[in-house]
């Protein structure tokens, strides 16, 4: 073979090898990625041609697929109580993808998860149409309904999260306003696009998952973190603390007053938490320092990656670059930001003897015949504080609840709680109202966090006790007594 022919042959061999390599890369290595790509319409057509599994909670179907007379979309996704459960189910749309449990548990619901390989093989042999598995959630429907009704009946904008402190099971996760996933699951492209644009252009952001994706200033609920840091640093519940009506922030002329400009009704750490005295906790944070505040907050979950299985936004203390900002951070102002989920985790850890459990929304996954594939296992995240310190904070929170106004107190049930009234730069000075609590205080089975945005129906006069506490108590009552 002459030299030119050898070069041509060599070039062809290289091209064949490259072609085979690329084909192998696409068919083997990239296969899963390409198959699951959201723009892969072939996969989408296949999925909409098979029966997708159910999302279930408390024996109720929250999402299911029903036969549909359409050439391509053989099944239509339906949500019987769409807005009530939208923060947990999410939506499943041919045109706009999915979110919530619909996305996080997609492989179970569409039947392609490895745990369902035997079911797929069985269907192939028997000639049955392939079906998806089901996902059972930890949600308590009675608590979910009460939380939603409490927010929406008053026209409030906000969120409620309730946890089982000992296991981390999410008992309730509600947003207001919410949205109906059903129109997004329709097959009329124009109608779905119109609804999608309407929801996304709504200034009240009904599709925002406030429980896990939005971060807010926590106000005085953050004093629980400051109290935990103080107790770990040698303070006791009877330690004497600042009780002045106001103090001046370090290196400034800026006054930091108590609520209403009043002197604290007592001068112990317990008194300061019970009456939510700003001056006491600002000075405590200043004495403890930035590192201790960050360390304690991190122990309660701040800054950690968390999937429930949806991703939870990270809560953070901000820069705290000078003494004044440290003082303000100690009372939950300045740059401190939390999700409602984080605040519920904080209350749950205190309720659980200081042990922080990972929040989890999925109780079990099931095959198409409802046989169990996998089940929820409680997972410890951290020992946030010692059991002894957790008990001290619990006792202080019981005193706080006794000083908290608002409706809905439950006869015969002792609640441990802390309120927050968070200024956030609103032009009308309408604060966010917070309430975190657990009950029964001696043997807690429910921990809850409530936020009502922008003063609810009380405007600038609102407090966490007046607008958020009644909602939290109603949710606790629903969990303990099975109704509103």
Domain CATH for 265: 3.40.710.10
Q: Is residue 310 part of a domain?
A: yes
Q: How many domains does the chain have?
A: 1
What's the CA gap between 317 and 298, in Å, rounded? 10
Segments forming the whole domain that contains residue 227: 217-338
Residues 6+ apart with CB under 8 A from 361: 88, 101, 137, 138, 139, 170, 173, 308, 309, 310
- 202 preceded by a cis bond (ω within 30 of 0): no
Residue 280 lies in a domain: yes
155 dihedral zone (left: phi>0; alpha: psi -120 to 50; beta): left
Kindly report the CA angle at 9 between 8 and 10, in degrees rounded to 5? Answer: 90
Tell which residue, 233, 354, 338, 207, has the closest CA to residue 287.
233
Establish if 277 belongs to a structural domain: yes
263 lies in a domain? yes
pLDDT of residue 484: 44
In a domain, 171, yes or no: no
Q: What local confidence, expressed as pLDDT, does residue 397 receive?
A: 98
List the catalytic residues: 220
Residue 61 lies in a domain: no
pLDDT per residue of the chain (484 residues) written in tens, 0 to 9: 677 788 888 888 888 888 888 877 777 777 667 666 666 677 777 777 889 999 999 999 999 999 988 777 889 999 999 999 999 999 999 999 999 999 999 999 999 999 888 888 888 888 788 899 999 999 999 999 999 999 999 999 999 999 999 999 999 999 999 999 999 999 899 999 999 999 999 999 999 999 999 999 999 999 999 999 999 999 999 999 999 999 999 999 999 999 989 999 999 999 999 999 999 999 999 999 999 999 999 999 999 999 999 999 999 999 999 999 999 999 999 999 999 999 999 999 999 999 999 999 999 999 999 999 999 999 999 999 999 999 999 999 999 999 998 889 899 999 999 999 998 887 888 999 999 999 999 999 999 999 999 999 999 999 999 999 999 999 999 999 875 4
Spatial separation of the C-alpha atoms in residues 299 and 384, rounded to whole Å = 5
| Structural domain includes residue 299 | yes
How far out from the chain centre does Cα 240 lie?
A: 36
Q: Identify which of 433, 434, 448 has the alpha carbon closest to the alpha carbon of residue 478.
A: 448
Is 325 a domain residue? yes
């Amino acid at each position: 073979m002459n030299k030119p022919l050898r070069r041509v042959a060599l070039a062809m061999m290289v091209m064949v090898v490259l072609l085979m390599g690329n084909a192998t890369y696409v068919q083997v290595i990239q296969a899963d990625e390409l198959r699951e790509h959201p723009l892969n319409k072939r996969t989408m057509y296949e999925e909409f041609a098979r029966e997708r599994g159910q999302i279930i909670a408390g024996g109720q179907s929250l999402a299911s697929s029903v036969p549909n007379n359409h050439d391509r979309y053989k099944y239509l996704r339906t949500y019987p109580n769409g807005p009530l459960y939208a923060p947990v189910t999410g939506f499943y749309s041919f045109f706009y993808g999915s979110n919530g449990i619909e996305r996080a548990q997609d492989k179970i619901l569409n039947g392609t998860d490895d745990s369902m390989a035997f079911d797929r093989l069985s269907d192939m042999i028997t000639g049955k149409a392939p079906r998806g598995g089901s996902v059972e959630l930890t949600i308590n429907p009675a608590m979910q309904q009460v939380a939603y009704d409490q927010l929406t009946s008053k026209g409030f904008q906000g969120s409620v999260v309730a946890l089982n402190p000992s296991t981390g099971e999410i008992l309730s996760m509600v947003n207001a306003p919410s949205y109906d996933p059903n129109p997004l699951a329709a097959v009329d492209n124009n109608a779905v696009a119109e609804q999608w644009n309407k929801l996304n252009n709504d200034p009240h952001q009904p599709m925002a998952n406030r429980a896990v994706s939005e971060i807010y200033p926590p106000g005085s609920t953050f004093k629980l973190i400051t109290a935990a840091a103080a107790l770990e640093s040698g303070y006791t519940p009877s330690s004497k603390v600042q009780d002045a009506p106001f103090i001046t922030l370090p290196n400034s002329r800026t006054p930091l007053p108590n609520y209403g400009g009043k002197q604290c009704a007592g001068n112990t750490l317990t008194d300061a938490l019970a009456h939510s005295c700003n001056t006491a906790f600002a000075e405590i944070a200043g004495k403890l320092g930035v590192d201790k505040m960050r360390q304690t907050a991190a122990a309660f979950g701040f800054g950690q990656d968390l999937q429930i299985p949806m991703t939870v936004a990270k809560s953070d203390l901000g820069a705290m670059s000078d003494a004044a900002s440290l003082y303000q951070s100690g009372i939950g102002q300045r740059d401190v930001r939390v999700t409602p989920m984080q605040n519920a985790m904080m209350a749950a850890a205190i309720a659980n003897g200081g042990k922080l459990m990972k929040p989890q929304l999925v109780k079990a996954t099931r095959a198409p015949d409802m046989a169990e594939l996998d089940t929820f296992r409680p997972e410890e995240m951290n020992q946030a504080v010692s059991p002894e310190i957790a008990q001290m904070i619990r006792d202080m929170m019981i005193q706080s609840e006794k000083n908290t106004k608002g409706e809905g107190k439950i006869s015969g049930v002792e609640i441990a709680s802390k309120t927050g009234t968070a200024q956030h730069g609103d032009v009308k000075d309408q604060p966010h109202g917070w309430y975190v609590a657990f009950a029964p205080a001696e043997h807690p089975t429910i921990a809850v966090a409530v936020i009502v945005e922008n003063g609810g129906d009380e405007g600038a006069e609102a407090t966490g006790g007046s607008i958020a506490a009644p909602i939290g108590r109603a949710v606790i009552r629903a969990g303990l007594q099975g109704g509103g």
